[in-house]
Chains A and B, each alone.
Chain A
Amino acid sequence: MDSSKFPAGEGEQIDDLFRKTLGDHTVEPSGNLWKGVSRRLLWKEISRFNFTNIPQGYWISGTAAIIMILGLLYFYSGSHQSTRVNPASEQVIAGKSHTGNNPATSPSVNPAEKNIVAPKQESVTPILHKPGLPGKTQMIASASVPAPGPAPHRAETPAPAEPVASLLNPPAASERWSLSMLDPIKAKGLTLADLYDTIISFQTPQGILKIQKIKPMSVQSFSADFGVTPELIKYNTTHSYSEMNYWLNARISYHFSKFTVQTGIALGYVYDEGKYQTKYISKDSIGYFTSIISFYVNPDNQNEIIFNTKDVPVYDSLQHFSDDRTRNRYTYIELPLLFGYQLFESNKLSLDLMAGPAFTFLIGTRLAEPYIEYPNARIIRIDDNTAQRVKMNWKISLSLHLEYRVSKNLGCYLEPSYKYYFNAFTDKEQTSSSPYSIGIGLGIRYHFGKITK
């Protein structure tokens, strides 16, 4: 039967039957439906987590908690790690004894914490012993004051004194000790930072104070980083725009001398625009006509008729196109290979310049569906014009790793970085429009036990 054979009006009759019966039909959902919705909402909230949507209260509490933890760690490390002046590489052993007795070396005394103050009178002169291999052992003393009788615990038989100036290089400002007890040394233009492997004896009114700074023995070590890097990525496609991305980093570093080689893995949430074109129809005014409401003959001029009119708008279904944008999320795995050089190091701080390539692999795509609401309009069609992302990108990364040591093994870091992508994210883009990003990494670094050669 073709359409012409369909009984007249029967089609509408069927339509009406279904429309009347099912138009307001309701069906009670099963109990599991809300559980599913609720579970999905929770998951969406977790997956949408980023640093911009944390409530202010959480920010304040979190910051306060971090400050407290760091403070406790600092306090704890300060009161228990007494021998370390430069935690990364140096060690000081200090001992104190009464005049005339063998000095009993106290274990691991941090002079700064103990606040041992040596008198500044001219009679107090540091006496320096250079322990180590017998052949290298030497005693350095000023000409005016002889070395005290008992030898320090690590000193070998004293060797003839050498002029101090000939042994020492100009001290680095960062390594200057701020100990008041060292004023006599400073007065002579020396700093303890230069006196590796040297035992220094002080003649004080309370007795003889001995300090030894041991030359750093560590030449290799490993560390592990865990952190997060929020970054602002700048896209240069048909128009320039920026998006916030988030990377979770787990890296391991090998340190030797002042150099570092670092690798690891990072999980990144990268955001980009989705582009859609929506076609919709709405009833819009396309003009108006003048409608006569009433008319009457002009009482002053019987030949004239006066019309009362009003403008009536005319509507028609008009077709519109609208460009809409969504925010898509892409999940990447990053494999970096970075090389670093230590620019600066002090008791608590260190600064490394890191650079190297990194490869990113697309492992997941979450496309946001467009939602376009036009009151009194009917959406006809939505075209997805979002470009397909390439599976692999590579980029060069340049960063400054600023670390603050909170304890012997633990440090927290701040890492501003710049990354330049060498290939575009999508096939539609030109290479010259490669994006770049700037970010600030935050995290902790755990230093494993040192390896000595």
Chain B
Amino acid sequence: MIVEDSILEGCIAGKRSAQSQLYKKCASTMLGVCMRYASNRDEAEDIVQEGFIKVFQRISSFRKEGSFEGWIKRIMINQALNHYRKNRKMPFTSVIEEIDETEIVDMEESEPMDVIPADTLLGMIQKLPEGYKMVFNLYVFEEFSHKEIAESLNVSESTSKTQLLKARRLLRKKISDYKQSKKSTKIHG
């Protein structure tokens, strides 16, 4: 994603045409990021909308020392975290359904995981409980340490670790279920 200086300068000057161009260049990538943090598309678009408002308000503070994509992505992630904090209803101690380990198919025995479509994987993340989702996203995609996650989400480090573990476990089950359903489709098809 390359954003020309002329577009940035136009945005700094508050020109709507430049803002529109910047939006067109970045919106799909940023919505892809925010979809991981949201539960559905509407929620993700709300986060992106708020994020773009902040981007346009603060674009003059972008110092061109790093990549613009990294800068705008950080704003979107912060916005997603703010959205999560505002709407957080339950503490991190939510207990998920017990997973029957016998039901989980050994991944190595099944087909390679990379054939699972992106939208399916995205749907799996979106359906995670809020706390799992936040920890998983921050750890996997933003490469936060557990200590940093703990401070960002105002939880303990051990909670962060536990949430990540449970998130992975749940995702593993979802992947397993998905593969089972694909297999049964093939057999019956």
Contacts and interface: CB of A to CB of B under 8 A. Distances in A.
Interface stretch (A28-36, A265-273, A355-363, A396-404): A28-36
B122 to A, nearest CB: 6
Contacts of B121: 17-18, 21-22
A38 B54 contact: no
A41 interface: yes
Given A3-B165, A10-B172, A22-B118, A15 B140 contact: yes
Contacts of A371: 54, 58, 61, 75
Interface in A369-385: 369, 371, 373, 375-376, 378-381
Contact of B32 (A15, A26, A279, A373): A26
Nearest to A48: B57
Contacts of B169: 1, 6
Interface string A6-17: 100011011101
B45 A30 contact: yes
A26 to B, nearest CB: 4
A38 B16 CA distance: 8
A143 interface: no
Contacts of B99: 1
Contact of A41 (B16, B141, B151, B161): B16
Interface residues of A, number: 43
B135 to A, nearest CB: 12
Interface residues of B, number: 60
A37 B27 CA distance: 11
A153 interface: no
B28 interface: yes
A366 interface: no
Given A1-B101, A37-B49, A381-B152, A21 B32 contact: no
Interface string A35-51: 01110110011000000
Contact of A10 (B71, B82, B107): B107
B140 A33 contact: no
B91 interface: no
Closest CB pairs A-B (n = 10): A26-B28, A380-B151, A25-B32, A27-B31, A26-B32, A375-B65, A381-B151, A17-B113, A15-B140, A27-B32
12 contacts: A1-B101, A11-B165, A17-B113, A18-B121, A21-B118, A26-B28, A27-B31, A29-B45, A29-B48, A41-B16, A371-B54, A371-B75
Interface of A: 1, 3, 6, 10-11, 13-15, 17-30, 32-34, 36-38, 40-41, 44-45, 279, 281, 369, 371, 373, 375-376, 378-381
Interface of B: 14, 16, 19-20, 23, 27-29, 31-32, 35-36, 41, 44-45, 48-49, 52-54, 56-58, 61-63, 65-66, 71, 74-75, 78, 82, 99, 101, 107, 113-114, 116, 118, 121-122, 125, 136, 139-141, 144, 148, 151-152, 154, 161, 164-165, 168-169, 171-172, 175
